[in-house]
Structure 1
């Protein structure tokens, strides 16, 4: 029987210790927390789910939803390694897990009382004992994550938010390239970069449509 990992609290002790260093490393992080605390727009709960809200806080909640999903996925991957996993792949996936937990906890702390609820994932479509299934899901999550940040960036008004989003999406793009290379060596940018040398992007609603397929707690963006 597979071990189920709590997607919200798993790895929290490690994340809390590292989060202070992560957030303190950038003045932009401080700006995010200060501005989030003063925002007047609340998130809205909906039946069996939650709405991200609007404005900059809505965009942050959008990112927080995706980071919750990614953190939950990698916590499960590392806790229940697929058959034949190598020590190098274990190290790579553990590093990605740690990054995603930090990102998740960063957004939760930054948004504070305006944050959406803790989401419950649905990974029933993923066979965590099979390398192909796990890496295909990882590629989907990472590619979608980068497209999400790129697609929502223009909506961010606060320069502090935009700075930290740029730093996080840079890490997510590194993850995406690594996962792609684990599947097919040399494929790090083959299907995600367009003819102009730019990464593909997608809208908030397009991304949430895809993400909700892996969430029991559905997320909406009715104000975007």
Structure 2
């Protein structure tokens, strides 16, 4: 197994619910080993959930922006078209959430994509697949935490777009495959994965250098 496969598999296991990985990662959640005084606190209630989504959308928007600023050598026309559309969607999601939060928004997060080989199509698309499936699971799990019906409708609209992104990336990675959905994202009841912030944030943490705390979110 090459380094790209190991990277994707490692992070995939984190968000698909491997109990041992999440148990260890969850213990690190409060400040990821950095003083809480320096951390971006998401807050509680609907604001906490919106900031949680905002943090993930910042990560995705930054990733796709970096991908297109440093296109891999074998990037095909269809790759570029789809990745550009996804980038624009993620930027729109990020900016929408920032606007909804106003002064209660967490600051812009610093990211670290040093583990991604941006010169490799497989590495880029494999990481994109993990991010998109993680995002879908995050929104699915956050719905139950939202009180404001307007926010819930917005989250439902965003997650449907994230699911389309995941499907598009899967098709780029494994065209004409027999998969109806990405690997490991649908349970035996035909339902998509749903993960709580305490499961999602540790999986995203290796790519975010700004410490993020979510003490009041489950």
What TM-score do you get using the length of structure 2 for normalisation? 0.80
Cα RMSD of the aligned pairs, angstroms, is 1.3
Given that 1:54 and 1:223 are in contact with CA atoms closer than 8 Å, whether structure 2 keeps it comes out as yes
Ranges of 4+ aligned residues in structure 1 off by more than 4 Å: none
Q: 2:162 aligns with which of 154, 165, 172?
A: 172
Q: State yes or no: 1:131 paired with 2:121.
A: yes
Give the C-alpha shift of residue 201 in structure 1: 1.2
Q: State yes or no: 1:212 paired with 2:202.
A: no
Question: How many pairs were matched up?
Answer: 180
In structure 2, C-alpha distance between the alignment counterparts of 1:88 and 1:104, rounded to whole Å: 24
Given that 1:52 and 1:59 are in contact with CA atoms closer than 8 Å, whether structure 2 keeps it comes out as yes
Q: State yes or no: 1:80 paired with 2:70.
A: yes
In structure 1, C-alpha distance between the alignment counterparts of 2:38 and 2:64, rounded to whole Å: 24
Given that 1:181 and 1:188 are in contact with CA atoms closer than 8 Å, whether structure 2 keeps it comes out as no
Given that 1:67 and 1:104 are in contact with CA atoms closer than 8 Å, whether structure 2 keeps it comes out as yes
SS at match of 1:208: helix
In structure 2, C-alpha distance between the alignment counterparts of 1:50 and 1:212, rounded to whole Å: 13
Counterpart of 1:96?
Answer: 86
Counterpart of 1:194?
Answer: 187
Give the C-alpha shift of residue 75 in structure 1: 0.3
User: Which structure would you say has the larger RCO, counting Cα contacts within 8 Å and 6 or more residues apart?
Assistant: 2
Unmatched tracts of structure 2, length 5 or more: 1-34
Deviation readout 1:60-87 (Å, 9 max, x if unpaired): 0000000000000000111111111101
Q: State yes or no: 1:111 paired with 2:101.
A: yes
